[in-house]
């Protein structure tokens, strides 16, 4: 019985990415705004309609980045890929 529970948890962890999130793969450098301030970061993990982003080093000492512990969840529609 215990094995069935573990199998279900692994199956639930597979996240189906929306069509808006297809271009934003792990490691993509992105720009986004949060509370009218502009930031840049790298995608750490993709979620269904958003992604977890790690702030770039130039922003890591800002109050926003410190308050959010260097990570933030942003919708794919609110971010732009940069080169």
Range of the domain at 32: 17-81
Overall pTM > 0.95 = no
Beta strands in the chain (DSSP E): 29-34, 37-46, 50-55, 71-75, 79-81
Tokens describing residue 21: 């999130």
**Eight-state DSSP code of residue 6:** H
**CATH for 44:** 2.30.30
Residue 65 lies in a domain: yes
Q: In total, how many domains does the chain have?
A: 1
pLDDT tens-place string over residues 5-59:
665 555 567 888 999 888 999 999 999 999 999 999 999 999 999 999 999 999 9
- Round to whole Å and give the CA distance between 62 and 65: 5
Residue 51 lies in a domain: yes
Residue 5 lies in a domain: no
Residue 4 lies in a domain: no
């Amino acid at each position: 019985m215990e094995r069935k529970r573990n199998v279900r948890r692994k199956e639930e962890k597979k996240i189906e990415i929306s069509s808006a999130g297809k271009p934003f793969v792990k490691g993509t450098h992105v720009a986004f705004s949060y509370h009218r301030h502009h930031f840049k970061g790298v995608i750490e993990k993709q979620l269904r309609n958003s992604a977890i982003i790690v702030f770039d080093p130039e922003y890591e000492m800002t109050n926003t980045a410190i308050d959010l512990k260097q990570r933030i969840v942003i919708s794919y529609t609110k971010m732009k890929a940069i080169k």
